[in-house]
Structure 1
Amino acid sequence: MRFLTHKETRFVDANIFILGFGAMKSARRVSAVTFNGLACAGVLAACAVSGAAHAGNLEQVPVDPVVVVAAPTWQGFYVGGTAGYAFGADDRVGHKNPAGVLVTRRAGDLDGEGFNYGVQLGWRGERALSRGSFVYGIELGYNGGDVDDSFVNGGYTGSVDLNHVLGLRAKTGLTNQSGNTMVYGILGYVHGDFDYAVNGTAGGDTINLNTAYDTDGYSIGLGVEHLLSDSWSVKAEWEYYNFGSKTLFDAGGSSTVATPTYSNVQLGLNFRF
């Protein structure tokens, strides 16, 4: 067994010191890294807790609900009323004797005009288009009022009074893009009831006619209607009436030919149900 010399002992002690000092430095580095890591973790945790606390205090911003507005519709049944004025009538009154010979070509003119009122019941269908809608329907109407005229001319007198008109009309039209206004056309069958009188003497013949008669005809027209709400609408119309011609005889066989025509403008209000 060999013992270390004094010089060798000092060398070993120096190496042990160096190794120990290095171990202490490594330990301090590890401690510093560990401390720094823990510090960063602590800061992050604090930030997370603070953020969560602030997030818990945020108020939610209210969002308005999306409101879907239904498109206007014309579909369905409706009832309504009108007020109008008739004008532009043209009925030239002549006179034939019982043999059918023309005695007087123009005894006078009966150009009936005046205020009138009406009621109607109708139905409409509707088809959507790329812009607006195509609307079609049928309407049953009644018109009455004070549409009349009279004349006194060269020994003749005459008068006409329109009592009422019944009409069955087809109406078709197009709406604007928003669907609340419609422009339409009118084509209808009309049946009129009249009081008619012609009295006078010419060419050796006297006509003494005072009668009531009814006759069929047609109507054409244009209109515009605007929706005030889902149920109510207002309209304005122009309509031309033509009742054709009808030969009227008095008791003795003398005759005249009635040819009533006139135009009518009216405002109306409809209720859809």
Structure 2
Amino acid sequence: MKRIVLAATASLVLASAAHSADLGVQRVAVPAAIIAQSYDWTGFYIGAHAGYGWGRSSYGFNTNGHYNHLPGDRFSHSTGGFVGGGQLGYNWQSGNFVFGLEGSLTWSDVRRANVISPFFPTSDTFTSSVGWFGTVTPRIGFAASNWLLYAKGGLAFGQVRTRIQDTNDFTAASSTRLGWTVGLGAEYAINQNWSVGLEANYYDFGSLRVNQESSLLVGGGPAGVFSDHNVKTTMWSALARVNYRFSTGGGAVSARY
């Protein structure tokens, strides 16, 4: 009987000691998973842009007209000025790749007035401008979290104006031209709705033919003197942009410990 009592007592003592030892050990909590939300560029957006445009107007004369010497004569001059407008588009993201379509419309003060003629420098001047232009461009980009790098290219159209004048008469034309554009850009998402970016673009508005039907006296009416020439208009732009995104896709959720 004594042996049974002693054995039970020893068991209780050992159990109590073990429990006391457990109480002395500091428990370490298992860290919870940290949820990281990756930005998703999917959705419609609308925005504004502003910057500087510069380009070149190149004249090629088809005849020995009133404002040049011989067929094949050529002359070009630079243009430049402020540009600003708006854009509307949609992005769709798959993995790190972003595909989109964007349309834009831009008011332009890209121009150069009263450039002295190389053919008749004492009397003739050249003036040209781009009054406005628009684009419709597919885009493809690579997204790294809140950053998006992209390339774009597609349709460009715009109002091209040209005028050659001497002391008595002038020839002028204004036409909406159809051409093409390519560009590169970078965009940073400030939050789920707002983003800012920079963009550089090249535009080619093709060649506008100006012939005798455009020749007038300075005071109005047919001049009776003619010019048959083409004016090719090309342009660059450097733009700062801001966009508001109406909706975003469900961002990919990742967990780390």
TM-score (norm 1): 0.71
2:56 match: secondary structure: coil
Pick the structure with more helix per residue.
1
> 1:191 maps to which residue?
157
How does 1:58-77 map onto structure 2 within 5 Å?
Answer: 63-77=30-44
> 1:217 maps to which residue?
179
Match of 2:166 among 192, 200, 203: 200
Unaligned runs of 5+ in 2: 216-221, 247-257
Counterpart amino acid of residue 32 in structure 2: P
- C-alpha distance in 2, partners of 1:221/1:207? 40
2:192 match: secondary structure: coil
> 2:112 maps to which residue?
149
- C-alpha distance in 1, partners of 2:158/2:185? 22
Counterpart amino acid of residue 165 in structure 1: F
> 2:252 maps to which residue?
none
Counterpart amino acid of residue 245 in structure 2: R
Superposition deviation, residue 39 in structure 1 = 2.2
- C-alpha distance in 2, partners of 1:220/1:213? 22
Superposition deviation, residue 171 in structure 1 = 0.8
Match of 1:136 among 99, 106, 128: 99
> 1:166 maps to which residue?
134
Structure 1 contact 237–266 (Cα < 8 Å) conserved: yes
> 1:78 maps to which residue?
45
Superposition deviation, residue 111 in structure 1 = 1.6
Match of 1:260 among 233, 238, 247: 233
Structure 1 contact 207–254 (Cα < 8 Å) conserved: no
Change (3 A) 1:118 1:138: same
2:183 pairs with 1:241: no
Structure 2 contact 92–99 (Cα < 8 Å) conserved: yes
Tell me which of the two structures has the higher relative contact order, counting C-alpha pairs closer than 8 angstroms and 6 or more residues apart: 2
- Could you list the per-position Cα deviations for residues 168-208 of structure 1 after superposition, in whole angstroms to 9, with x for gaps in the alignment? 01111223xx433232221120110133211138xxxx862
> What is the root-mean-square deviation in Å for CA atoms of aligned residues?
3.0
Q: Which has the larger radius of gyration?
A: 1
Structure 2 contact 55–233 (Cα < 8 Å) conserved: no
Superposition deviation, residue 211 in structure 1 = 3.3
Change (3 A) 1:221 1:161: same
User: Kindly, what percent of the aligned residue pairs are identical?
Assistant: 23
- Could you list the per-position Cα deviations for residues 229-264 of structure 1 after superposition, in whole angstroms to 9, with x for gaps in the alignment? 222222222211001101023145533311110111
- C-alpha distance in 1, partners of 2:209/2:57? 16
- C-alpha distance in 2, partners of 1:59/1:231? 46
Match of 2:6 among 33, 39, 45: 39
Counterpart amino acid of residue 218 in structure 1: W
2:138 match: secondary structure: strand
Structure 1 contact 231–271 (Cα < 8 Å) conserved: yes
- C-alpha distance in 1, partners of 2:50/2:3? 95
How many pairs does the alignment contain?
227
Structure 2 contact 107–133 (Cα < 8 Å) conserved: yes
TM-score (norm 2): 0.75
> 2:251 maps to which residue?
none
Pick the structure with more strand per residue.
2
